[in-house]
Amino acid sequence: MFFARLAPHLRRGRAGERRAAAYLKAQGLVIVTNNFRSRYGEIDFIARDGAELVFVEVRSREAGAQVSAAASINAAKRERIRKTAQVYLQQHYRTPPACRFDAVCIDGADITWLRAAF
């Protein structure tokens, strides 16, 4: 049976998401869903942090990359995430809970959780 090999950047992205999920769970978040897609884009994780719903963007960069993982989340990406979050809330809630947008940034071996990143 033939299985297509993932491109290196996609493998790195999936590995980063697995690492981010483990990190967030260790911090007490409960992941509700992952890779939620709408016509506007994708949200890597939607999680619960107590009563708060958290939309999480995961960014991974190799050590020594010219642009850090955090710096790679530009205004256009933030807007796509916001619009996708609105779709999720409309589909799942009559009255939306308190929400925030976090980022988990992985630069080489370093992992940083930016709460309320945008």
Q: Quick one: average pLDDT of 53-70? A: 91
The overall pTM is greater than 0.95:
no
Task: Please report, for the domain that includes residue 12, its CATH number.
Answer: 3.40.1350.10
CA distances from 80 to 40, 42, 55, 94 (A): 6, 8, 12, 22
Give the model's confidence band at 102: pLDDT under 50 very low, under 70 low, under 90 confident, else very high: very high
pLDDT tens for 21-56 read 999 999 999 999 999 999 999 999 999 999 999 999
Residue 1 lies in a domain: no
What percent of the chain stands above pLDDT 90? Answer: 78
Residue 22 lies in a domain: yes
- Name the domain count of the chain: 1
Q: Is the model's pLDDT at 3 over the cut of 80?
A: no
Residue 41 lies in a domain: yes
Q: Which of 51, 28, 36 is nearest to 113 (CA)?
A: 28
